[in-house]
Structure 1
Amino acid sequence: MSGIAGWIDRDRDLTRGGPVTAAVTAMAERLRRGGHGVRHWSVPSAVLCHSADALDRAGAQPAVTTADGRPPAAVVFDGTLDNAARLRSELGLRGGPTGGADAEVVLHGYLRWGGEVARRLDGLFAFALWDERTRELVLCRDRFGVKPLSYLPLPGGGALFSSEVAALAGHPLADPVLDAEGLCSVLAQVRPPGRAALRGLREVRPGHLVRCSPTGLVEQRYWGLEARPHTEDLATTIETARGLLEEAVARQTGPAGGTPSVLLSGGLDSSTLSAVTAARTGTGPRTFTVSFGSAATVPDAPYAQAVVDHLGSDHQDVLVDPASLTDPVTLGAALDAKDFPSPFGDKNLTPYLFYRSVAQHTPVALSGEAADAVFGGLISEDERAATEHRTFPWIERARAFGLENGIGNGLFDQRMMRDIDLAGFCAERYREARDEVSHLPGAPAEDRRAREIDYFHMTRLYEQAVNHSERLAAAAGLHVRFPFSDHRLFSYLYNVPWRMKSFDGHDKSLLRAVARDLLPSIVLDRPKVPFPITYHPGYKQSLADRLRRVLDDRDAPVRPLLDLAAARRVTDDPRMLDRGGWLGRADTEMVLQLDAWLRARSVRLAL
């Protein structure tokens, strides 16, 4: 969870100080990730910055080499390599103060294998490498894009890059503008591949490497989901899935001997992860569960306790005080961490506060996020069997509740949404994603549809799950690792037919079979419930009060986008926040987050 940033400019000398140095310093200071000191490395055409976290080795980054009289090459790296030891041995790296650093492995791997190094890296990572020999910047993200990395192309083959949009938006060469496409990206919570919400800003796509050279930008894919025949029977499939999950846990917990920590909700996913971890180490892991104390009941609590009792975990309930959810400092910190507005409100705030507390007890924890996408837990039988599809499943579900424009958009002006063509934008993103899916020749329609839905969840909804958790945890000072995001497990289960993932008619029956001998039946057979939210009256009153302040502020940047009459109905009658359970609150949360994000990033609307 380091922060990385940099500036490539072929027309300026970036080592000359003055305004250039001030711009670099300001960009580095905006990094929220890391927080344990910033180091720089520069040559006339390139500056690389690294904001260290608590686990980084002092002085390890930026990693630089000038061996054999070659021009220097340097890299800044965020993440963890699960196979660093093997790669160090293969590269012949020995000892030294930075000899074990993952960044140095990437640097020497690139010098040996070029861009092919990306295929050899296991783990969650993002890196930026400057090769003075070719005067080329190389940007790369892990296979699922869990670690963030954005960039802004500049004239003449230059670029700004950073882990965080905030660091880019504040640079003098950036002009943070939200146009019609960008606003659609925010409201739909889906972006065109490789594009960020702000105009001109790009994201390194998951499983991709970007080269920025004097001749321009080149994007190269090094990994992706591919359709392959599945030839194993059900018993073998269960055994293989179990083995792949065990291997993923082993890679992400390191050598046996320590006591791993697991974020335990009491759901099937985190419970299975806790049980697999216990089986590997021979003892119950340290487990942490969120609690609101007497202020609200957490439906998962009895199931989490059943897992703790069954495994003998060293367990701690982490109390989140509902009053802290209205603290302006917490609100700002959570928005900065996500770096993007969303309608999820205290579904951002509660995890952030939870992770912050967990980080006081352990630097690293495992999360069960992504299991839903991998094991088919986000698709219903009706969705799989439906014959007509116009958009993503989660938008179709929202429309079933009467939310034509998706979750969180009920207070925006209907004419404005027609003018920016939100519906057309969503339809185009859907076609774009559907066209990416590879199918097996002659596959039945139901298998094709199930594969498409799995692909949508893995590549488009992922950001609302795994990436959501990673960014909030990073800002809170906690390294979260996601064994269900192991690409071997992902690739295998992507090709398991739907009838095996739900072989007994229940959701995620394959995962239940994997954990059948590891967990008590009360957990194995339990129904799924959403992440807990607070229904504390003080929180809802705070939402209404904050919305009223936005409506009363004629300079509020979000105000021109709103249906003011609809918004006033909420402030006049806060009971409207309870429409559809959490969905009524989502409308207000989206307005408040968008307004705060526009202010914090000094974003100009250009619709």
Structure 2
Amino acid sequence: MPGITGWVDHRRDLTREGHAAATMAAQLVARGRHREGRWVSRGAVLGVRSHDTDPGDGRPALAQLGGRPLAVVFDGYLQNADALRAELTDGAAVPRTDAELVLAAYLAWGIGAAERLDGFFAFALWDGRSEELLLCRDRFGVKPLSYLGTPDGLLFASEPAAIAAHPLVRPELDADGLCAVLAQVRAPGHGVLRGVREVRPAHLLRFRATGVSEHRYWELTAAPHTQDLTETIATARELLLEAIARDTVPDAAGGPATVLLSGGLDSSALTALVGERTGRAPRTFTVSFGDSSAPVPDRPFAQAVVDLLGCEHREVLVEAEELTDPLTTAAVLAGKDHPSPFGDKNITPYLFYRQVAEHTPVALSGEAADAVFGGLITEQEREATGHETFPWIERAQAFGMPHGIGNGLFEPGLLAKVGFSAFCAERFQEARAEVPHLPGARSDDRRAREIDYLHMTRLYEQAVNHSERLGTAAGLQIRFPFSDHRLFGYLYNVPWRMKSFDGRDKSLLRQISRDLLPASVLDRPKVPFPITYHRGYKQALADRLRDLLDDPGAPVLPLLDRAAARRMAQDPRLFDRGGWLGRADAEMVLQLDAWLRRLRVGLAW
């Protein structure tokens, strides 16, 4: 869970630049509040911040070869750490931490080490022998890692806020960056701030004085599926159990594994399978809002699972007043490091995770099951033709939001000026062209592959990455067994008619867990994460929006349709449009303004 950061410079003596390095590291407080470790040489600085519950010693891993230093900072965890230790020791000192394992793997296999690492991770490695920096992310990019080139080197960090804080950087939001914020999708390898890039998932980047090169160490492929339905169910089940085994750890006292249980199919199936794989009912946690929650409460469904499996269960109550606490909203924005229109859908998980972290440092989540098991495509979407944008933007348009969720208060002329529609169309065609297909595949299989691929590679930020960042900020390491590349790679190639063999979404997952769960859970319709309907929350949004409109220095003000924003601030009933979708417009404005202030971002178009 730590945050990592660093700086490489071919001209400056970085042993004299401690202030700039410390300034960057300070911005990673959301990823590590308690410990900071730093390694400094003339040409490179590597830093790491961590919570006191994080594994390892909170310091860079170091080695000396031929009088030249090597250093590694690491975020995440390796699922195959024990196997790597057994393979790499051979009479040598046993690497204790994951950072030391990465360093040992690099010394043994060079850049080929990346494909031998299993888990969710981001790391930076400085090789003083060749004076090059390596940056690497896991296969699905669960762990964040951004970088920015400078005239004489490169800055990198887990979060763009750390890069923006460097004294040499003038953070700016250009037209493409604003479009990326509003569309909630970015071009591969691109960040939101001008010039800031992201290490692409499943890529290793090499930075030398002569330039930057990228090495892709894993990719999704299309392949024929030759198994029948019975064999497919058995294989999917075995792959899922293996993924659970790699991610399941007992607590520090030897107690059962912990699962975040909503009462939906995904988390319930995970809970049951964890119990089967470990032989012990897991400990479970469910979030509750009391009387201000969504119309379909999770409590009875979660309780049915708990009663059947015999789980040690806790219900975490989130109070309405906690959702409007300015200290909490600031912590959430720092944790996400990115504005979004999701408001209490960000705040509630953070508060939930914070309370879970008081009982355990690690919990398992059912996130990503929808994309892996084909739960994100409706019958209408599968049969429709002539798609021009992402499925989630199409769904927003169906609700009367032509520019997507959360964009209703921006000045219409601005969206045309920055080319928002063209940006979305370009990103969609770019993503669609990447989708691996088989020649001659059926149209329903092509569409199903496309939607799964788009969600897994473009909307992941709103699911797994969303939970990872909020969990990390709360001091909880969340693991995602459904995000296993072997499982996804297999199911990606299962035909749509098998994924929905009983006429429903996620048919395979239902069949895998049919004998393990209550019928009420197996037959429960999918519902979104619950939100609060408390009157005080909507009133607080209206008050904050009114205060923003009355502040002539608010950085977001030039971007707004002020008349529309004023109407919403004066009439809280407008927040109820489409359930939570109306208030998403205000949430986006408030978060974007707070983010622009926090990072001191200038507007440039």
> Which residue in the other structure is 1:564 paired with?
562
> Which residue in the other structure is 1:190 paired with?
185
What letter matches 2:523 in structure 1?
Answer: D
Counterparts of 2:234 and 2:51, CA distance in 1: 38
1:529–1:512 distance in 2 versus 1, CA, 3 Å: same
- Indicate if the aligned counterparts of 1:368 and 1:483 stay in contact, CA closer than 8 A: yes
Pick aligned residue for 2:31 from 30, 33, 36: 33
Q: Cα offset for 1:250? A: 0.6
What letter matches 1:148 in structure 2?
Answer: P
What letter matches 1:237 in structure 2?
Answer: T
**Within 5 Å, which residues of 2 pair with 1:86-485?**
86-92=83-89, 99-156=95-152, 158-254=153-249, 258-296=255-293, 299-485=297-483
- Indicate if the aligned counterparts of 2:81 and 2:98 stay in contact, CA closer than 8 A: yes
What letter matches 2:573 in structure 1?
Answer: R
Counterparts of 2:366 and 2:25, CA distance in 1: 32
> Which residue in the other structure is 1:80 paired with?
77
1:575 aligns with 2:573: yes
- Indicate if the aligned counterparts of 2:49 and 2:58 stay in contact, CA closer than 8 A: no
- Indicate if the aligned counterparts of 1:283 and 1:311 stay in contact, CA closer than 8 A: no
Q: Cα offset for 1:161? A: 0.5
- Indicate if the aligned counterparts of 1:300 and 1:529 stay in contact, CA closer than 8 A: no
Pick aligned residue for 2:47 from 46, 49, 66: 49
> Which residue in the other structure is 1:5 paired with?
5
- Indicate if the aligned counterparts of 2:556 and 2:589 stay in contact, CA closer than 8 A: yes
Counterparts of 2:370 and 2:168, CA distance in 1: 41
- Indicate if the aligned counterparts of 1:548 and 1:571 stay in contact, CA closer than 8 A: yes
Q: Cα offset for 1:70? A: 4.5
Q: Cα offset for 1:60? A: 5.7
Counterparts of 2:90 and 2:4, CA distance in 1: 24
Counterparts of 1:539 and 1:375, CA distance in 2: 35
Counterparts of 2:146 and 2:18, CA distance in 1: 21
Counterparts of 2:558 and 2:4, CA distance in 1: 35
Q: Which runs of no fewer than 5 residues in structure 1 stay unpaired?
A: none
Pick aligned residue for 1:589 from 578, 587, 590: 587
- Indicate if the aligned counterparts of 1:291 and 1:320 stay in contact, CA closer than 8 A: yes
1:509–1:336 distance in 2 versus 1, CA, 3 Å: same
Q: Cα offset for 1:53? A: 2.6
> Which residue in the other structure is 2:495 paired with?
497
* Residue deviations 1:456-483 (CA, integer Å, cap 9, x gap): 0110011110000000000000010000
> Which residue in the other structure is 2:15 paired with?
15
- Indicate if the aligned counterparts of 1:41 and 1:47 stay in contact, CA closer than 8 A: yes
- Indicate if the aligned counterparts of 2:250 and 2:257 stay in contact, CA closer than 8 A: no
Counterparts of 2:280 and 2:459, CA distance in 1: 34
Counterparts of 2:429 and 2:56, CA distance in 1: 47
Counterparts of 1:66 and 1:258, CA distance in 2: 40
* Residue deviations 1:384-428 (CA, integer Å, cap 9, x gap): 111110001111111111111000000001111011110000000
1:584–1:60 distance in 2 versus 1, CA, 3 Å: closer
Q: Cα offset for 1:438? A: 1.7
Counterparts of 2:244 and 2:554, CA distance in 1: 47
Q: Secondary structure at the residue paired with 1:468?
A: helix
Counterparts of 2:482 and 2:114, CA distance in 1: 20
Counterparts of 1:340 and 1:424, CA distance in 2: 22
- Once superposed, which parts of structure 1, at least 4 consecutive aligned residues long, lie more than 6 Å away? 93-96
Q: Cα offset for 1:93? A: 6.4
Q: Secondary structure at the residue paired with 1:72?
A: strand
- Indicate if the aligned counterparts of 2:257 and 2:283 stay in contact, CA closer than 8 A: yes
Q: Secondary structure at the residue paired with 2:406?
A: coil
Q: Secondary structure at the residue paired with 2:525?
A: coil
1:179–1:321 distance in 2 versus 1, CA, 3 Å: same
Counterparts of 1:211 and 1:246, CA distance in 2: 35
- Indicate if the aligned counterparts of 2:431 and 2:454 stay in contact, CA closer than 8 A: yes
Pick aligned residue for 2:21 from 11, 21, 24: 24
CA RMSD, 1 decimal: 1.4
What letter matches 2:469 in structure 1?
Answer: R
Q: Secondary structure at the residue paired with 1:396?
A: helix
> Which residue in the other structure is 1:553 paired with?
551
Counterparts of 2:97 and 2:452, CA distance in 1: 36
- Indicate if the aligned counterparts of 1:93 and 1:99 stay in contact, CA closer than 8 A: no
Q: Which runs of no fewer than 5 residues in structure 2 stay unpaired?
A: none
Q: Secondary structure at the residue paired with 1:262?
A: strand
Counterparts of 2:534 and 2:164, CA distance in 1: 36
* Residue deviations 1:283-342 (CA, integer Å, cap 9, x gap): 211000001124436622110000000110000000101100000000000001000000
> Which residue in the other structure is 2:485 paired with?
487
1:324–1:408 distance in 2 versus 1, CA, 3 Å: same
> Which residue in the other structure is 2:514 paired with?
516
Q: Secondary structure at the residue paired with 2:389?
A: coil
Q: Cα offset for 1:66? A: 1.0
Counterparts of 1:395 and 1:58, CA distance in 2: 42
Q: Cα offset for 1:94? A: 6.6
TM-score by length of 2: 0.97
* Residue deviations 1:467-506 (CA, integer Å, cap 9, x gap): 0000000000001000000111111111111111111111
> Which residue in the other structure is 2:524 paired with?
526
* Residue deviations 1:530-581 (CA, integer Å, cap 9, x gap): 1000000000000000000111111111111011111111012110000111
Counterparts of 1:399 and 1:171, CA distance in 2: 40
Q: Cα offset for 1:220? A: 1.6
Q: Secondary structure at the residue paired with 1:394?
A: helix
